[in-house]
């Protein structure tokens, strides 16, 4: 039996994924320039170098595209922290970390995962989801996925450092994400640069860690 159909399907899948990514990248650029409401399908297609047909063969609506883009931003935040934890674990640094909750969080989050564009995008998507029931369902599902990922990271860190939490990992994750989002929004409103915003968010998360982690 020939493998050609399989190869062709794989090739089509890669091309489709490449097209979706180009549309997402273009959407991010257009959003940065004009915001969510003014970022038209036409402007996104023009920036990506595709027709409207290419857009609608990949996304049913502009909201779907921006929700996926917001999800990519959220997953990127989690991935940065996960990679930091994995790197520290690989170096054996987790074993050498202090037991102070504030210092643990400061060291683990000693990477930049936030920027003004990402915060603005997440905020606008959240507002649109409040007004659109169908988008709200998708947003909440995406939010729950991120919650599970953060809870797993918290559990892994707790196991590696033999830490005891005052609340279950899932509740700790929800609290940390709530503070992360609120601190990000306040930092953007205050006009802080990316580096200063990162430091401010880390400090607030570290204070939360002091509350939810029992002293050793």
Span 141-152, pLDDT tens digits? 999 999 999 999
DSSP code per residue over 50-84: --HHHHHTT-SSHHHHHHHHHHHHHHHHHHHHHHH
CATH for 1-59 is 1.10.10
How far is residue 159's CA from residue 114's CA, in Å, rounded to a whole number? 27
Tokens 């998507």: give the residue: 125
Number of H helices, E strands in the chain: 10, 0
Residue intervals of the chain classified under CATH 1.10.357 are 62-212
pLDDT over threshold 70, residue 136? yes
pTM for this one? Answer: 0.80
Among candidates 210, 193, 19, 23, which has minimal Cα distance to 106?
Answer: 210
Q: How confident is the model at residue 86 (pLDDT cuts 50, 70, 90)?
A: confident
The highest-level CATH class for domain 62-212 is: mainly alpha
Pick the range with the lowest mean pLDDT from 49-53, 95-99, 167-171.
Answer: 95-99
Pick the range with the lowest mean pLDDT from 53-62, 65-74, 78-87, 91-100.
Answer: 91-100
3-state secondary structure of 213: strand
Residues 6+ apart with CB under 8 A from 20: 58, 59
């Amino acid at each position: 039996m020939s493998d050609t159909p399989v190869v062709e399907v794989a090739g089509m899948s890669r091309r489709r994924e490449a097209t979706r990514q180009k549309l997402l990248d273009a959407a991010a650029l257009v959003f940065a320039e004009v915001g969510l409401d003014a970022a038209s399908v036409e402007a996104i297609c023009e920036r990506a170098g595709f027709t409207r047909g290419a857009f609608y063969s990949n996304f049913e609506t502009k909201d779907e595209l921006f929700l996926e883009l917001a999800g990519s931003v959220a997953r990127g935040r989690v991935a940065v922290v996960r990679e930091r934890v994995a790197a520290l674990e690989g170096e054996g640094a987790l074993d050498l970390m202090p037991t102070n909750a504030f210092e643990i969080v400061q060291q683990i989050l000693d990477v930049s995962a936030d920027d003004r564009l990402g915060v603005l995008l997440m905020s606008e998507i959240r507002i649109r989801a409040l007004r659109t029931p169908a988008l709200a369902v998708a947003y909440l599902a995406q939010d729950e996925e991120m919650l599970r990922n953060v809870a797993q990271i918290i559990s892994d860190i707790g196991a590696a450092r033999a830490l005891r939490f005052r609340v279950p990992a899932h509740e700790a994750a929800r609290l940390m994400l709530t503070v992360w989002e609120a601190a990000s929004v306040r930092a953007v409103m205050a006009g802080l640069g990316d580096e200063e915003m990162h430091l401010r968010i880390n400090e607030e998360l570290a204070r939360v860690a002091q509350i939810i982690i029992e002293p050793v």
